[in-house]
């Protein structure tokens, strides 16, 4: 790793790696529409996956998990 790459890496690692709750909630609202569609169509595996994705956003934004 050259010094420019190291500087870039160091700067990148100092940045916040979490998601703001309001951003996470906005994305989750979009996912909820997709979840409702999958659920209504009987596509349970896909609906479960959407729930897991939403929970990953909740964790990243410091919120409680809702799909256990």
DSSP string of the chain, one letter each residue: --HHHHHHHHHHHHS--S--HHHHHHHHHHHHHHHHHHHHTT-HHHHHHHHHHHHHHHHHTTPPP---
pLDDT of residue 18: 81
Residue 13 pLDDT > 60, yes or no? no
Which is more confidently placed, 18 or 67? 67
Domain presence at residue 60: yes
The 10s digit of each residue's pLDDT in 15-52 is 556 889 999 999 999 999 999 999 999 999 999 999 99
Query: Total structural domains in the chain?
Result: 1
**Does 51 fall in a domain?**
yes
Domain that holds residue 36: 20-67
pTM: 0.72
Residue 37: its pLDDT value, please?
98
Is 29 contained in some domain?
Answer: yes
């Amino acid at each position: 790793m050259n010094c420019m790459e190291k500087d870039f890496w160091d700067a990148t690692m100092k940045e916040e790696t979490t998601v703001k709750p309001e951003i996470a909630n906005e994305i989750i609202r979009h996912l909820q529409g997709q979840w409702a569609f999958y659920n209504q169509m009987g596509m349970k595996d896909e609906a479960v996956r959407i729930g897991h994705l939403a929970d990953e956003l909740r964790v990243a934004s410091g919120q409680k998990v809702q799909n256990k």
